[in-house]
Amino acid sequence: MISSTNLKVHKLDNFTLKSGVTINLELFYLTVGELNEKKDNVIIYPTRYAGTHLEQGYLIGEQLALNPKDYFIIIPNMFCNGVSSSPSNTIEPSNGPNFPLITIQDNVTAQHNLVTNFFGIENIKLVVGWSMGGQQAYQWATQYPDMVENIAAMCAHAKTSGHTHVFLEGMYAALTSDLNWNEGNYKEQPNAGKTTMAMAWAGWALGQNWFREKLYLNDGYKSPQEVLDKLWKTIYYKRDANDLLAMIRTWQEHDISNNEKFNGNIEEALSSIKANVVLMPGINDLYFPPEENKEELKSLKNGKLEIIPSNYGHYAGAAKSKEDLDFVNNQIKILI
């Protein structure tokens, strides 16, 4: 069901970014299901950090909440992910380290352009996403409050916290420590830096409980070291280094209130959301902890918090276990 065979492109010429920079962009997207006559069965399902449309299939199916027999599901590839416009696939002079900062707001503005100008859609049934996909769901709800009925944000916050900003800066430093980095003008991919970043990231992504409960045994790994050697060591090798770094900057800049409408007032931004909101943090997520969703909930008019009781850390929202998938799937079914 999810493949690159039916991948389509939406061209955005002379697109003005939040920063004021104008650039030609290409938004690659995949659709699953059929748009009904009323155009009111639309689900937006954005991608996450270092992910593409190919990783989005776990929530789509006839027995799942995102049933393609009922809904028209649009999967937009986030900018800088190597599919949509990114440092790695943009021509000079905006290629590589010269590629401009793309914010979550820019991503959603581009997606809105696709949805309205190409498809003629005026109402969104649901925006759902995990991690940076959840950030985009939050952004949709604040940027286009009259258009979005529901959002489900899994392991995501309305604003990147100071702690997560610091964590990401460490990942940025790890990758750029490679001797081949050359300020982003590398001739060969700085894979040693990618490995350094991945080794540091592994403990954050899965969390203490996953290792304490030895859940790696369920995935065929004999020890924590084998998890590093066989899973994480080369996990980013297929991704371009400048793309990975650009997505880190996008993540760090995320703040639904950082615009002229809200002027940094996060409570006002949250209270402006008209959509029904379900926040699903993983109970052991180290960089999207439930505590911050609890604070956001205080300002949401139609929000609820459903903590995923998972030992998979941040990957709770990626449904790495059947229990996690059932939990997330059931909450989305209740929402829509």
Q: Which residues pair with 130 in a beta bridge?
A: 154
pLDDT at 3 over 90: no
Residue 212 burial by Cβ neighbours in a 10 Å radius (0-12, 13-18, 19+):
exposed
- Whether residues 218 and 151 share a domain: the answer is no
Q: Which domain CATH number covers 286?
A: 3.40.50.1820
Beta strands in 121-166 (DSSP E): 126-130, 150-154
Query: Contact at 8 Å (CB) between 279 and 311?
Result: no
Using CA atoms of 170, 94, 104, 56 in order, give the dihedral in degrees to the nearest 10.
-90
Domain edge (last residue) among 180, 209, 243: 243
Separation of alpha carbons 112 and 202, rounded Å: 34
Domain edge (last residue) among 197, 218, 243: 243
* Residue 150 covered by a domain: yes
- Whether residues 156 and 184 share a domain: the answer is no
- Whether residues 200 and 325 share a domain: the answer is no
- Report the SS3 class of residue 151: strand
Separation of alpha carbons 271 and 299, rounded Å: 5
Of 257, 285, 310, 324, the active-site residue reads 285
Q: How many helices (H) and strands (E) does the chain have?
A: 9, 8
Tokens of 210: 């996953």
How many percent of the chain have pLDDT more than 90? Answer: 98
Closest CA to 158 of 43, 286, 257: 257
* Residue 128 covered by a domain: yes
Q: How confident is the model at residue 317 (pLDDT cuts 50, 70, 90)?
A: very high
Token match 């002027």: residue?
263
Closest CA to 10 of 147, 113, 128: 113
User: Quick one: pLDDT at residue 249?
Assistant: 98
Of 272, 310, 314, 324, the active-site residue reads 314
Token match 């258009």: residue?
147
- Whether residues 79 and 144 share a domain: the answer is yes
Q: How confident is the model at residue 2 (pLDDT cuts 50, 70, 90)?
A: confident
- Whether residues 186 and 273 share a domain: the answer is no
- Whether residues 116 and 221 share a domain: the answer is no
- Whether residues 13 and 113 share a domain: the answer is yes
Q: How many domains does the chain have?
A: 2
pTM of the predicted structure, to 2 decimals: 0.98
Sequence-ordered list of residues with C-beta below 8 angstroms from that of 283, at least 6 positions apart, any chain = 290, 307, 308, 309, 310, 316
* Residue 248 covered by a domain: no
Q: Within 10 Å of residue 181's Cβ, how many Cβ atoms?
A: 17
- Whether residues 135 and 275 share a domain: the answer is yes
- Whether residues 147 and 272 share a domain: the answer is yes
- The domain containing residue 170 runs over which residues? 165-243
* Residue 13 covered by a domain: yes
- Helix %, strand %, coil % of the chain (to 5): 40, 15, 45
Q: Is 157 an annotated catalytic residue? A: no
Peptide bond into 290 cis (omega under 30): no
Q: Is 314 an annotated catalytic residue? A: yes
* Residue 83 covered by a domain: yes
Q: How confident is the model at residue 333 (pLDDT cuts 50, 70, 90)?
A: very high
Domain edge (last residue) among 243, 277, 298: 243
Angle at 299 between CA 298 and CA 303, to 5 degrees: 75
pLDDT at 1 over 80: no
| Per-residue pLDDT reduced to its tens digit, 63-84 | 999 999 999 999 999 999 999 9
* Residue 3 covered by a domain: no
What amino acid is encoded at 184 in this protein?
Answer: G
Q: What is the mean pLDDT of residues 136-152?
A: 98
How many percent of the chain have pLDDT more than 70? Answer: 100
What letter would DSSP give residue 81? Answer: S
| Per-residue pLDDT reduced to its tens digit, 162-202 | 999 999 999 999 999 999 999 999 999 999 999 999 999 99
Sequence-ordered list of residues with C-beta below 8 angstroms from that of 264, at least 6 positions apart, any chain = 255, 257, 258
Q: How confident is the model at residue 304 (pLDDT cuts 50, 70, 90)?
A: very high
* Residue 2 covered by a domain: no
Average pLDDT for the chain: 97
- Whether residues 234 and 259 share a domain: the answer is no
- Report the SS3 class of residue 12: strand
- Whether residues 259 and 123 share a domain: the answer is yes
Q: Within 10 Å of residue 56's Cβ, how many Cβ atoms?
A: 24
Q: What is the mean pLDDT of residues 254-261?
A: 97
pLDDT at 18 over 80: yes
Q: Is 285 an annotated catalytic residue? A: yes
Sequence-ordered list of residues with C-beta below 8 angstroms from that of 313, at least 6 positions apart, any chain = 204, 205, 206, 207, 208, 209, 210, 282, 284, 285, 286
User: Quick one: pLDDT at residue 281?
Assistant: 98
User: Quick one: pLDDT at residue 231?
Assistant: 95
Residue 292 burial by Cβ neighbours in a 10 Å radius (0-12, 13-18, 19+):
buried
User: Quick one: pLDDT at residue 220?
Assistant: 96
* Residue 299 covered by a domain: yes
Of 84, 131, 272, 310, the active-site residue reads 131
pLDDT at 5 over 90: no
- Whether residues 178 and 40 share a domain: the answer is no
Query: Contact at 8 Å (CB) between 163 and 142?
Result: no
